[in-house]
Chain A
Amino acid sequence: MGKKEMEAPAIASDVALDVQDLGVRYNLQLTKKNTARETLNRLLRRGREDRSFWALREVTFQVQRGESVGVIGANGAGKSTLLLVLAGIIQPSAGVVQSNGHISTLLSLQAGFDQDLTGRENIALAGALLGVDHREMERRTPEIIDFAEIGAFIDAPLKTYSSGMRAKLGFSIATAVDPDILLLDEVLQTGDEAFREKSRQRIIDVLGAAKAVVLVTHDMSWVTGFCTRAILLDEGRIVMDGDPETVVARHIENAERRRADRRARRAKMAAGEIEAESLRAHKAKGRRSR
């Protein structure tokens, strides 16, 4: 990683995460599955048009030890990108992210599974991917197997598992980590009814044990129920940061306004109020930019 680890410039010990003026820019030219021809065309036809997009812009906040911060916002507001940066998976394009402690993510459900390895071997593989020491992982293996309720299947190749068993195993591994600073993308709920109840309890335990939590979710009951603070993102910027109840209320209000806007636009369109003129202009613009 281009990550530079150095003497952390004074970060107070009671601060778990410190995010200063963070920006993340995606280069749209490269994010598409490119072929050389497309690139060449672009280079030839439109020399230096800026085709980048800021998924996050000027984001600044701190997470204190003991805090649980819920990050909410509409789809595409930058919530998941924020979590990816905090986890170190993508690098900031601007600003600074500092952390005081080990960051664990629970976004890794099933990500590293290999179909040809057995359940037990997959536990070891997942541990190695997450950077957990193998002795530590071996110590936790019985507990993981027990929690996942897959019994004798644990020594069968993963491809013989049902999707429910896979999900349970993934969940058990993900939540077996020692949480220090914990990042969660959507509260992972999986499996049958009984397992869901059990996993809910497990998440609550893990959340409680972590020193600090950042949780991205669409389920507002988790935000109001567990978070001590909430951050509302919109188009990559923080629009509100504060008490969960207030922020959630604002989020719901925003969402309703957007829905109302959309309805109004549709109604207008149906009534033919948008003149053919502007529609044509819009189309022409779209063609040019293609």
Chain B
Amino acid sequence: MPIANDAPATYRTSAVRPGPATLIAEAIRELASRRRLIAYLVRADVRRKGTDTLLGNLWWALDPLIAMAVYVFVMGVIFQRSVPDFPIYILAAVVPFKWFTSSIGGSTGVVAKNERLIKQIQFPKLVLPIADALAELVSFAFGVLLLVGLTLLWAGGAHASLMLLWIPVIAVVQLAFSLGITLFVSAVTVFYRDVGIVVGHLLRMLFFISPILWSFEDAQGRGASLKEGLGPTGFWILEHNPVAILLASYRRVIYGQVQHGADGGVTWSAPVAPDLGLLAALFGVSLLLLVVGTWFFKRLEPAFAKIL
């Protein structure tokens, strides 16, 4: 059996600690050469989600619908706080938020659960969080189809507009942001399993402090007490929470904006483009997060096989 003798001699030692630039260049090389591995892992993940349950991938559409029904009941019937076309208003935030929570929540175990693999095969561990993030993206795509379909049909297409085309743009920013966080969370969870629990609580808090059941426009009208209670700084922070920026953007392009009349009546205006300045700033922060996260992950990677 002829074997090409071009295999590079490798040299491993404890003496060298590669710097950040080396690690990141290495990460990019690894990912480029393992594209197929990532694709296979994504396929396996999507199929697993589809075959575990009777209704399979249909759950991805049913889940936000059921959640929406619950929130509409709670907010609309119990709290009497609904706005016109409340289901679309809620769904526009629930679908992307579900993507965010399942990406971050699922990422906590993504390295740890592959313990057997990591201890037996030498491969770039970076493919694990990345494949996980892409699989979640596939699920989100199902959800977006449902969301767009419903928006086009609701009230004779009252909310339908070309602004829906902004969804992929906002999704790219969200993907970068959540992947950046995933890199940190998945690496740290290997060392401290508690991280998974803490992350769960943080995500729940995020649900309430992000504009899902309410929106910042409320603060102009009857929700003015919110602004007063938090003070200008507090309100600014609330408004610039990355998840809030993302969710507000989705709602602007899908639902439109809530408007409070002087007489206390609530109406809505047609969908508008998202705040591009904010979105661009968030994208910049996300890219930075990705770079630092990659370095962080690569730095801890050599210890994974020993710790697990």
Contact = CB atoms under 8 A, between A and B. Distances in A.
Contact of A31 (B14, B41, B124, B306): B306
Contact of B9 (A35, A91, A98, A111): A98
Size class of the A contact interface (CB-based, 8 Å): 35 or more
Query: Interface extent on B, as a size class?
Result: 35 or more
B222 interface: no
B123 to A, nearest CB: 5
Interface stretch (A81-89, A146-154, A259-267, A271-279): A81-89
B40 A30 contact: no
Given A90-B306, A111-B117, A111-B121, A100 B9 contact: yes
A217 interface: no
Interface in A166-191: 178, 180
Contacts of A1: 26, 122, 124, 298, 301-302
B193 A33 contact: yes
B120 to A, nearest CB: 4
Interface stretch (B43-51, B146-154, B237-245): B43-51
Contact of A92 (B13, B22, B26, B117): B13
B121 A35 contact: no
B175 to A, nearest CB: 23
Interface stretch (A127-135, A192-200, A232-240, A250-258): A127-135
A95 interface: yes
B31 to A, nearest CB: 13
Give the interface SS of chain A, mostly helix, strand, loop or mixed. loop
Nearest to B41: A125
Contacts, number: 148
A124 interface: yes
A97 B10 CA distance: 8
A277 to B, nearest CB: 40
B3 A111 contact: no
A34 B122 CA distance: 24
A4 B12 contact: yes
A33 B112 CA distance: 11
Contact of B7 (A124, A180, A209): A180
A11 interface: yes
A88 B122 contact: yes
A5 B123 contact: no
Interface in B106-160: 116-124
A117 B194 CA distance: 31
A202 B133 CA distance: 40
Interface in A45-91: 84, 87-91
Nearest to A103: B10
A106 to B, nearest CB: 10
B79 interface: no
B12 A96 contact: yes
B5 interface: yes
A6 interface: yes
Given A2-B302, A180-B7, A209 B1 contact: yes
Nearest to A130: B121
Nearest to B49: A116
A108 B121 contact: yes
B3 A4 contact: no
Contacts of B305: 84, 89-90
Interface string B265-308: 00000000000000000000000000000000011011101110
